Structure 1
C-alpha cells in the first residue's frame, strides 16, 4: 500500500505525540519522586541534552541536505527509541551494586536522545515542505498538530496507567513506540522531490558536507529575517528550558494538590494534560478556519500576540498562590505553546530556500540548544539559590527580547 507524503507526515506527528505524551506527562513522578532529582539536577539533565544537540545538529542537518532527509529521519527515530528505553532503564541499571548511578545513566540517555533528535530535527520539515510545496505546508503543519493532539490524549492515559505500575515504564514504552515508528517510515516514507548533491571524483564526502553547510550559512547571512530568527530561537530556548523542567516541580514543591481529592501526582498531571489537550484542539480548530497560513504578515502578527500572552502566562504561573490559579495559568500557556509551533514553523519555512532547508533549520535548532544550554543552568541555579518561583520569573524575563525582535521583523516586512 502506498501512502501520500502528507498522510505519512500526519501519522508521524500522531506517533511522535503519542510517544512523547506517554513519556513526558508523568516525567516528574519518575525524575523528581522516584529518582529524587533537585532543581539543579533537572536543569543539568536538560543541559546535557542541549549541549549534545548544539554539537551534533549542524552535522546531521548537513547530512540530510547532502544525502537524504528520509534516511536522516529514519536513523533518528531508531536512535531516539534506544535513548528513551535507556532513560527508563536508568532506575534499574543504577540500583544495587552498580558502579554507575541512576543519575549518570540518565545523563548518558540524554546524550543518545540528543543525537537522535538532531537527525530528525529539520530533516522531517525539510522533507515534507519539498514533497507538498511551501504553499501547502502551513495548512499541513496545523493539521498534523491537530491530529497529534489526539495522540497526546491517548498517551496521557497510557502515561498515568503505566506510571501507576512503575514510574519508569512510560519511558520504556515510549522508546518502543519510536522504534515502531522507525520501522513504519522505513516502509512508507518516500523521497521524490529531493535530489542528493552530486559528488565529483575529486571531492570527498567531507568537502561535500562542508559545501552544504557554507551554503546554509550564506543564506542566513544574506537574509535579515533569518538572522532575526536565530536570535529569537536563542532567547526562546533559554526561556522554555527553565519552564519545561520546573513547572511540575512548582506544583509538587510550592503549590501542592487539593487534599480533598485523593489523586496521585501522576493522576493530577494526567488530568492537566487532558484539559490542555482538549483546549488546544478547540483552539487549533479555530486557527485552521480563520488563519491564512500562507500570509507571512498574518503569521508574524500572530506570533507577536502569542509571545505577549506567553510571557504573561509564565509570570502568572510563577506568582500563583493557589491550585486553581496555577492550573488555569498552565492550561492557558499550553494552548499558547501549541498554537505557536505550527505558526513559527510556517514563518521559518517561508524564508528558506529548498536546497539548504534542513541545514538552515538545524542551525535554528542549534541556536535554540545554545539558549537552553546557557539559560537552563542559570534558571536552575536561581531555583536552588532562591526558589522555583524565582526561576519561572527569570524564564519569563528571558523571553521578553523576542517581542522586540518580532516587532523588528514586522517593520522590516
Structure 2
C-alpha cells in the first residue's frame, strides 16, 4: 500500500478497537477471577512499570533495526500477551500477561509516529504531519469507541472471552502491517555499523537533543505533569460520579461516547487553528489551560449536569492537544533518534501516571475525591507554568 497515511489510519483504528474492547470490563475481568481491588490496582501498576522499564530499549530497537520491525514485533508480542491472559487466568499469569502487553505497547509507542513522520519527510510532505496526526487521532478515538461498545457486549455475554478480540486483533494487525507497511527511507538511510556502538551513539545524541533544545525539554516536562493530572481523573471519575454526584452507572457509556464524538468531530478543525498563531506552542498552551479550568470545575461543582459537560470538555482538550503535541515534538527532533526520543517522552509520561496512581490513591483515601481532583488540576497548571518558563528561554519560538 503506497499511501502511508492510509496505513497509519487503518492501524490506529484496528489497534484502538482491540485496546478499547478491554476498557469497559478490565476490572470486572480480574474480579471474575477473585482478585481483590488492591490486586487489580497492582496489575495496572505492573503494566505502567513495564512501560517505564522497556520504553527506551524498545525505542532503540526501532531506531537501530527499523520502525517496521519494531511494529511487527509489537503486534506479535501483544498477541502472545493476549493468549497468556486467556490461557493462564491466575494472579501470576496475569502478572506475566501485563508485562508482556507492556513490552508490546512500548514496541509500537514512538516507533509508529516516527515511521509516519519520516515517511512524510522522505516524500517531501512534512508539512502534512499535523493533519495526518489529527486524522489519526480521529480514527483512534472512533476505534476506541467501537471497541468499548464491543467489549461491553462481550463482557455481558461472557467475561471469559474479553481478551479474544485483543489477541486476535493484534494478530490481524501483524498481518496487515506485514503486507502494507513499507519503509523506503530506512533502506536508504541505514548504515552497517557495530550495534553496541550505535546504541551508545543513539542514547548520547538523544540526551544531547533534550539538553540543548529547551522546547523538547519543555514538552517532556509538560507531558509528565499532563499524564499525572489526567491519570488522576481517569482513575476516579466513575467513583466520583457514582458516589458523590449520584449519576447512574447506565449513563457512563454515553458520557464516554460523548467525549469520543467531540474529539472525532472537532480534532481536525482545532488543529488547524494553530496556523493562526505566531508561536507554534500557543494553541497547545490554550488547550492545557482549558483542561485545567475544566478539571477545577469538576472538582468543586455539585451540579451533575455541569460536571458531565466539563468532563466531556476535559477529554476534548486532552484529545485535541495530542496531535499538536506530536507535530511540534517531531518537528524539532532528528530522524536518527526520533523513535528513541518519542519513547523517552512516552516513558516519562508513564512515570507521571505511576506517580499519580500511588500518590493520588493515598491522597484520595485520606482526604476524599474533591480535594484530590483539586490537587490534580493544580498539578496541571504548575506544568503549564513550568512549560511556559522553559519555552521563554527558546529564542526560536
Report deviation, 1:173: 1.6
- Look up the match of 1:191: 183
CA deviation profile, 1:207-266 (whole Å, cap 9, x unmatched) = 3222222121122212111122222222222222222222223334443434xxxxxx4x
Q: Secondary structure at the match of 2:21?
A: helix
Matched, 1:151 2:143: yes
Structure 1 portions without partners, runs of 5+? 95-100, 259-264
- Look up the match of 1:241: 231
CA deviation profile, 1:94-120 (whole Å, cap 9, x unmatched) = 3xxxxxx3xx44433221121111111
Aligned length: 389
Contact persistence 1:32–1:249 (CA under 8 A): no
- Look up the match of 2:279: 297
Matched, 1:400 2:381: yes
Query: Partners of 2:296 and 2:160 in 1: how far apart?
Result: 31
Matched, 1:369 2:350: yes
Query: 396-405 or 53-62, which moves further after superposition?
Result: 396-405
Report deviation, 1:158: 1.0
In the superposition, the TM-score normalised over structure 2's length comes to: 0.88
Query: 384-393 or 226-235, which moves further after superposition?
Result: 384-393
CA deviation profile, 1:118-162 (whole Å, cap 9, x unmatched) = 111111011110101232211100111123333233223212211
CA deviation profile, 1:155-199 (whole Å, cap 9, x unmatched) = 232122112113454443233212211221111111111246433
- Look up the match of 1:345: 326
Contact persistence 2:55–2:344 (CA under 8 A): yes
Compute the RMSD of aligned alpha carbons.
Answer: 2.6
- Look up the match of 1:125: 113
Query: Partners of 1:136 and 1:353 in 2: how far apart?
Result: 18
Contact persistence 2:50–2:103 (CA under 8 A): yes
Q: Secondary structure at the match of 1:193?
A: helix
- Look up the match of 2:255: 272
CA gap of 1:30–1:270, structure 2 versus 1, over 3 A, is farther
Query: Partners of 1:27 and 1:321 in 2: how far apart?
Result: 29
CA gap of 1:23–1:396, structure 2 versus 1, over 3 A, is same
Query: Partners of 1:370 and 1:249 in 2: how far apart?
Result: 24
Contact persistence 1:313–1:333 (CA under 8 A): yes
Contact persistence 2:46–2:98 (CA under 8 A): yes
Query: Partners of 1:257 and 1:208 in 2: how far apart?
Result: 55
CA gap of 1:137–1:409, structure 2 versus 1, over 3 A, is farther
Matched, 1:53 2:46: no
- Look up the match of 1:138: 130
Report deviation, 1:306: 1.1
In the superposition, the TM-score normalised over structure 1's length comes to: 0.85
1:6-405 aligned at under 5 Å gives the runs 6-30=5-29, 37-38=36-37, 43-87=41-85, 89=86, 93-94=89-90, 101=91, 104-133=92-121, 134-167=126-159, 169-195=161-187, 197-200=190-193, 203=194, 205-258=195-248, 265=249, 267-287=250-270, 290-292=273-275, 297-298=279-280, 300-405=281-386
Structure 2 portions without partners, runs of 5+? none
Contact persistence 2:271–2:324 (CA under 8 A): no
